């Protein structure tokens, strides 16, 4: 079965074709970063308009790159939420119209389930059950995963998401949007001994996170440096280093705790922040010592993309799920509301 996947929940238009026997056939991504950069964040109306411009050309490109014609597409999966309502509507109406025109089923997919299952696109992939750390621009969650649609929320951020904290800290340092990769880049030059930032919530017994205090601490540090003289490149690198270390060690500690609590030894991480090299290395080292394995998507499939939507859609379509007649998108949509699909090995 060839499943076309369409992702438009935020500021990336992603399209991909996934074949349930052969795997990923083709994918393409158009990032709107340049459109939003001058505003320092995503402007919803501009995002919707750009998705309108880009979605169909990307569909054409992907079908061609896969060496197929549209008659070979067996189903269309699209992101139905959570995300920006206008942006979601563009993907949903485009996907539904294509499916209707081609006489094939369509299915709305949960964006975070897409992120969560993205590691399944890799050769080395986890088997169920596992603990997932979802760290993206809008989410920081620890989830116990017993199968597709069998999710138990173990903990989450009580305020900012990890990616959002990266983006805000970057803004304070005058780095462009989205700031995560820029913080990571300059942190490499930072002196690890100059500042030590607080590790939020690590003394708190549960598995929840909080990043707003760290954000305030970062701002206070930047302000007090600026009082003396304008920030040098070294100052910025040192702050970035301390900030990244604090986020990474908080995430690592909570992941270890989650595995212990659930008596599991597989951790899956996904979402934009899972592209962070320092986080990958520290998780692998710390959990490796405990005999646990860590799985993550290829860097290009950590942030938003069509491949993860095509994959997640394919699993549910193969289990017989399809949309009803009405087009519905859900800007807010808890992942735990998703129906389970019968136990099978992911294809
Ligand atoms: P959500 O998936 O929660 O709806 P989103 O789709 O905006 O949010 P993603 O596209 O998964 O989020 O990830 C984007 C986030 O990842 C941004 O906050 C970005 O700064 C962050 N990010 C990307 N690469 C890195 C990196 N190397 N280090 C830290 N953060 C990163
Ligand atoms: Mg994005
Ligand atoms: Fe995302």
- Give percent of the chain above pLDDT 90: 95
DSSP 8-state class, residue 295: E
Q: What is the pTM of this model?
A: 0.97
Residue 224 annotated as binding? no
Q: Which ligand is nearest to the CA of 182?
A: 1
pLDDT, tens digit (0-9, with 9 covering 90-100), for 98-141: 999 999 999 999 999 999 999 999 999 999 999 999 999 999 99
Q: What's the full length of the chain, in residues?
A: 347
Give the chain's radius of gyration (CA, Å).
20
Write the CATH number of the domain with boundaries 128-296: 3.30.420.40
d(CA 213, CA 190): 21
Residues with CB under 6 A from ligand 1: 10, 83, 111, 115, 136-139, 163, 166-167, 178-181, 184, 271-273, 275-276, 303-304
Residue nearest to atom 13 of ligand 1 (CA): 272
- The fold of 2-117+301-337 is Nucleotidyltransferase; domain 5 (3.30.420)
Reported ipTM: the value is 0.99
d(CA 13, CA 4): 13
d(CA 26, CA 44): 28
128-296 has the same fold as 2-117+301-337: yes
d(CA 333, CA 347): 25
Residue nearest to atom 8 of ligand 1 (CA): 137
State residue 346 phi and psi, 5-degree precision: -60, 140
The full DSSP string for 5-43 is: EEE-SSSEEEEEEEETTTEEEEEEEEE-HHHHHTTTS--
Contact 186, 237 (CB under 8 A): yes
Sheet of strand 140-147: strand arrangement: 150-156, 140-147, 130-135, 266-270, 293-295
Q: Which residue in 94, 59, 60 sits closest to 80, CA to CA? A: 94
Residue 51 annotated as binding? no
Tell me the pLDDT of the chain (347 aa) as tens digits: 999 999 999 999 999 999 999 999 999 999 999 999 999 899 999 999 999 999 999 999 999 999 999 999 999 999 999 999 999 999 999 999 999 999 999 999 999 999 999 999 999 999 999 999 999 999 999 999 999 999 999 999 999 999 999 999 999 999 999 999 999 999 999 999 999 999 988 888 899 999 999 999 999 999 999 999 999 999 999 999 999 999 999 999 999 999 999 999 999 999 999 999 999 999 999 999 999 999 999 999 999 999 999 999 999 999 999 999 888 999 999 999 999 998 654 55
> Hey, where are the domains in the chain?
2-117+301-337, 128-296
Which atom of ligand 1 lies closest to the CA of 12? 10
């Amino acid at each position: 079965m060839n499943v076309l996947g369409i992702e438009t929940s935020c500021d990336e238009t992603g399209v991909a074709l996934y074949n349930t026997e052969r795997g990923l056939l083709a994918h393409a991504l158009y990032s709107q970063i340049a459109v939003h950069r001058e505003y320092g964040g995503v402007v919803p109306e501009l995002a919707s308009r750009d998705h309108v411009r880009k979605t169909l050309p990307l569909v054409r490109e992907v079908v061609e790159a896969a060496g197929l014609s549209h008659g070979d597409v067996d189903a269309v999966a699209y992101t139905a939420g959570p995300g920006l309502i206008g942006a979601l509507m563009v993907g949903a109406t485009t996907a539904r119209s294509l499916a209707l025109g081609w006489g094939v089923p369509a299915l709305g997919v949960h964006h975070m389930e897409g992120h969560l299952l993205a590691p399944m696109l890799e050769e080395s992939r986890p088997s169920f059950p596992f603990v997932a750390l979802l760290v993206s621009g809008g989410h920081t969650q620890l989830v116990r995963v017993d199968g597709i649609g069998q999710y138990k929320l173990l903990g989450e951020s009580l305020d900012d998401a990890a990616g959002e904290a990266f983006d805000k800290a970057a803004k304070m340092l005058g780095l462009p949007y989205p700031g995560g990769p820029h913080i990571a880049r300059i942190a490499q030059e930072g002196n690890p001994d100059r500042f030590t930032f607080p590790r939020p919530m690590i003394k708190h017994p549960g598995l929840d996170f909080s990043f707003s205090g760290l954000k305030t601490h970062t701002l206070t540090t930047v302000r007090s440096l600026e009082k003396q003289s304008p920030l040098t490149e070294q100052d910025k690198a040192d702050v970035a280093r301390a900030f990244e270390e604090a986020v990474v060690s908080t995430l690592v500690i909570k992941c270890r705790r989650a595995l212990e609590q659930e008596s599991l030894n597989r951790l899956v991480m996904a979402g934009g922040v899972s592209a962070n090299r320092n986080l990958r290395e520290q998780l692998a080292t710390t959990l490796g010592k405990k005999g646990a394995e860590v799985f993550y998507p290829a860097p290009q499939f950590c942030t938003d993309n069509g491949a993860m939507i095509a994959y997640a859609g394919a699993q549910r379509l193969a289990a017989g799920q399809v949309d009803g007649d009405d087009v519905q998108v859900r800007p807010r949509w808890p992942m735990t509301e998703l129906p389970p699909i019968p136990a099978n090995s992911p294809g």
